[in-house]
Amino acid sequence: MQARKVKTAKVQRRTVAKKRQRGRIPHAAERTISGNNEELLLKRATEAGHTVPLRGLQIQDIFYSSAPELRVLAFKSGFNLGAEAYRKSGGSMGPLQRLLENAGLGKIVYYPFESRSTFTSRALKHWDKSLGVNLHVFESGIISGYLSAHAGRSVIAEETACVFNGSNHCMFLAKPGSLHADLHHSLEFADILRALRYAVEHAETQRGWHGYYVLETIPLFSEPVFSESLKFLYLLGKMTAEGHLPRPEREVALAALFVGLDGAKVTSAKKHGVSITLSYRSETSLGRFVDITSAFMSGIVKGAYGRNVKVSRTLSGRGVYNVKMEVLEGFNNKVA
């Protein structure tokens, strides 16, 4: 009888694992981002000792700057994250500096003054073209929330210099006040595509901790923003790739690195056509982050190959995602 119970339990575990891989049972890693997962990511983001990729153009920065409403959303979400970080900080400024450094901003120089404070980073990858907008609105929110919680009154940080807006460094100026006019600036669509094409073509292997990619994407996880974001990111990916990426296999792999994935493996065979496998890490294996990055990558593949794309995903027993994209034969670029 005991042996039969053990055998039954093993069969049940195998059945659950198979269903989980097919997406029928949600793994703990994808159930929620608002609870323990976000708290764990925030805890790790305020710790020292990570190897973090040096920050360049990120898709979140570009996407948030596509409309004033999204910039406000990013700022407010960053503000809440900063306030939560302060509540767990013990009252010191160290966790805020580490949080910004783990965002890829490099060594942060902090100067506190009686009526204002400045945070300066000279470590970001410099871009010699100006987009006309300071992009780091999410980080402005983080600084504002942290300092407001510390001061017990409204403190607003504004990015006054940005490497993507003609400066050789990024600087945030924080002082008492309310939301500033900078939030209402946005990128022109032509500038968005120009920035995305540049960022994809210059993407590099990003080794180190990638948890901040998820923290920065959290503002997009709630409806109705989530569904609209999927559509827009797919469109952006498609238009980024169409007629502008001369070597599809290379550019698809670079696009995966650009959005914070572990990589993309492109396989081409005469009988089976082209397939792409996207690899995620444990800290980025959250259902909605996978959805958002897959939407952009689907658009990239569609634009690069001019054919429709079939997408499927699996979740390993370790809670790590793999996404497979198959380029369908027999459909040309005119098919929606």
Tell me how crowded residue 176 is: count the other CB atoms within 10 A of its CB. 13
221-336 matches 32-207 in CATH topology: yes
Q: Which residue did the predictor score with more confidence, 36 or 267?
A: 267
Give the per-residue pLDDT at 153.
92
Q: Let me know: does 56 contact 212? Beta carbons within 8 Å.
A: no
Q: For domain 32-207, say whether CATH 1.10.3470 is its number.
A: no
pLDDT digits (tens, 9 = 90+) for 189-212: 999 999 999 888 888 877 778 889
pLDDT digits (tens, 9 = 90+) for 138-190: 999 999 999 999 999 999 999 999 999 989 999 999 999 877 767 888 899 99
If pLDDT is split at 50, 70 and 90, which confidence band does 38 have?
confident
Q: What are phi and psi of 67, to 5 degrees?
A: -160, 145
Give the per-residue pLDDT at 328.
86
Q: Is 50 exposed, middle or buried (0-12, 13-18, 19+ CB in 10 A)?
A: middle
* Domain residue ranges of the chain, discontinuous segments joined by +: 32-207, 221-336
Closest CA to 175 of 131, 116, 231, 124: 116
Q: Let me know: does 296 contact 231? Beta carbons within 8 Å.
A: no
Mean pLDDT, residues 309-322: 90
Q: Let me know: does 134 contact 159? Beta carbons within 8 Å.
A: yes
Mean pLDDT, residues 117-133: 86
Give the per-residue pLDDT at 33.
42
Q: Which residue did the predictor score with more confidence, 255 or 114?
A: 255
Rounded to whole angstroms, how far apart are CA atoms 251 and 202?
Answer: 10
Rounded to whole angstroms, how far apart are CA atoms 105 and 123?
Answer: 6
Q: Fold for domain 221-336? A: Muramoyl-pentapeptide Carboxypeptidase; domain 2 (3.30.1380)
Give the per-residue pLDDT at 30.
39
Q: Let me know: does 302 contact 312? Beta carbons within 8 Å.
A: no
The answer to whether residue 281 scores a pLDDT higher than 80 is yes
Q: Which residue did the predictor score with more confidence, 300 or 52?
A: 300
